[in-house]
Amino acid sequence: MIQFVSTLGGGSPVSFETAILDGYAVDGGLYVPERLPRVLPETLQQWANLSYPDLAFEVVSLFIDRSVVSEAELRQLVQDSFSSFTHEDVIPLRPLKTDRGLYVMELFHGPTLSFKDVAMGFLVNLVDFFLRRKGQHRNILVATTGDTGPAAAYASIGKSTLDTWLLYPKRMVTEEQERQMTSLSEPNIHAVAVENCPEGGDDLDFVISQLMDNASTKEKYGISSVNSINWGRVMVQTVHYFYGYFRVVDRVGERVSFSVPSGAFGNLCAGTLAREMGLPVEKFICATNQNATLYRIFEEGVLVKRELINTPSSAIDIILPYNFWRFLYFITGQDAARLKAWTQQFKESGELRFDTETYAQIKRGIRAAFVTDEQTLALMKQVFAEEDYLIDPHLAVALSAGLSLRNELPEDGKLICLATAHPAKFKNVVLAALETDELPAAAVHPSLEAAKESFHNVLLCEQPALHRALVHALEQTKRRAV
Ligand SMILES: *Cc1c(COP(=O)(O)O)cnc(C)c1O
């Protein structure tokens, strides 16, 4: 039986079902599997030609006992979760013409045009599956800097086991993202625009943690989370590293590098777990914008919070990369006691400087770069001109970071840059980058155009009142349900 434990070592091990439904562990840590499964070279060989859904089935099977979800049920869940993707490959790989060995992995062909769809559809389907089996209802609280909210909303459509609350900092998400959240008239989906969030999504995460850390509140309202604190998200995100790898290698065993635009570090954390499991990775490039918390960790050995800067790559305008703790847990050999001490120290002093030995482990096979707004926009323009390919600002960050560190990779090595959003979600950035008033056709998407024609269905709230307002709203939902 695969069990799940907290990164902080508290509580007792729980089943996969509990880890998924509860989100946070009881001691406020993050759930992780007791041990990571190993994928042997023979298995990699056998997986090499699988379609994305079949590969997803194999990878997630390593974490889920058949007694918890049967093989047929899991196949159905996987099938349902990726059938909403519009590309036949689900996650296509695109070689760049101007640079041999450089590939883009497009993760944005899901219903809300961002990489969040990749794991969210599956996770929400899984939560719904468990709740139906238990005859229960949950309130899902989602904090979003733009893409998580829409993905959670679309994944929750028609699910009577769930009420989904989408909290976003007003004016810090793009108009297109806001529309995706507010244009749905589904009785179980509630968009909440929050004013006064100087720290952006972190101000919302804070309120959610307050609610979730209070065991009686959490229990009373059946609160759950599908943010990337949820193990289910990170688990599914390991799959695309395997998939992308198989699409570009000449032979299994070859080492490949990945450049990943990173904010909360869920995506790249998943990549490092895939590496621990046995995927042959040369290097990871952790690409950030000027909110360079992760850059300081990997290049300077210090975790320190700075003020939030708004950039064109707004989905990674994040100052606290909470999934870094999961990564740290595994690279320290699952040392929960040290994680607990570090967490405490960081809480008290707002800074954590890693000792030489830990820092060496952290840096192993990972480089980081931060990219300025000017570099981001200039690269969008350049790639559009040279490749006739419109890229979004997050891919621009990944590509720019990748190119700046290319000389540190083996000369004939392959580099996969992760494209995490469709450019149509960032129209104003596209216009600024291309220095034009006329949107290219590639920046228009029918689903976003349709969302414009609808009502704005949204609640408004000031950040200091958010906790109280949410409790009130949850209370009303509870009354309605009985
Ligand atoms: C969420 C997101 C990211 C960052 O992913 P993390 O797992 O938070 O590091 C990057 N790009 C886009 C477009 C996103 O929506």
| Regions in the chain scoring below 50 on pLDDT | none
Centre of ligand 1 from the C-alpha of residue 398, in Å: 11
For residue 85, give the amino acid letter. Answer: F
Please work out whether the CB of residue 147 comes within 6 Å of at least one atom of ligand 1: yes
CB of residue 394 inside a 6 A radius of ligand 1: yes
Evaluate: CB of 81 within 6 angstroms of ligand 1.
Answer: no
CA of 142 to the centre of ligand 1 (A): 14
Residue 370 CA to residue 368 CA, distance in Å, equals 7
Quick one: pLDDT at residue 477?
85
Measured by CA distance, the residue closest to atom 1 of ligand 1 is 315
Predicted TM-score of the model (pTM): 0.96
Measured from the Cα of 265, ligand 1's closest atom is 9
Dist. CA 230 → ligand 1 center (Å)? 15
- Alpha-carbon span 174 to 256, nearest angstrom: 33
Q: For ligand 1, say whether the CB of 262 is within 6 Å of any of its atoms.
A: yes
Atom number in ligand 1 closest to CA 270: 7
Rounded distance, CA 366 to CA 361, Å? 10
pLDDT given at position 132: 97
Ligand 1, atom 11: closest residue by C-alpha: 420
Structure-token pair, residue 139: 């309130």
Query: Does ligand 1 have an atom closer than 6 angstroms to the CB of 421?
Result: yes
CA 42 to ligand 1 center in whole angstroms: 32
Find the catalytic residue in 97, 116, 159, 340. Answer: 116
Ligand 1 mutation target, pool 106, 117, 120, 147, most atoms within 8 A of CB: 147
Is the beta carbon of 371 within 6 A of some atom in ligand 1?
no
Number of CB atoms found within 10 A of residue 217's CB: 16
Question: Six-digit token pair at 76?
Answer: 């159905």
State in Å: Cα 262 to ligand 1 middle.
6
Residue 36 is predicted with a pLDDT of 96
Distance 261 CA to ligand 1 centre (A): 7
Query: Given this model, what pLDDT does residue 482 score?
Result: 59
Note the pLDDT of residue 481.
66
Q: What is the dihedral of CA 6, 11, 15, 19, to 10 degrees?
A: -50
Rounded Cα distance between 430 and 97, Å, is 21
Give the number of other CB atoms < 10 A from CB of residue 454. Answer: 12
Is the CB of residue 112 below 6 angstroms from any atom belonging to ligand 1?
no
Is 117's C-beta closer than 6 angstroms to any atom of ligand 1? Answer: no
- Tokens in use for 317? 């305008």
Active site residue 116: yes
Which of 115, 116, 180, 297 has most ligand 1 atoms within 8 Å of its beta carbon, as the pocket-test mutant?
Answer: 115
Q: Where are the alpha helices (DSSP H) in 107-214?
A: 116-134, 148-156, 175-182, 201-213
* Residue 291 Cβ contacting ligand 1 at under 6 Å: no
**Residue 133 to residue 356: CA distance in whole angstroms:** 49
**Cα distance between residue 224 and residue 140, in whole Å:** 5
Query: Whose C-alpha lies nearest to ligand 1, atom 8?
Result: 264
Distance 27 CA to ligand 1 centre (A): 26
Q: How far apart are CA 132 and CA 346, in angstroms?
A: 40
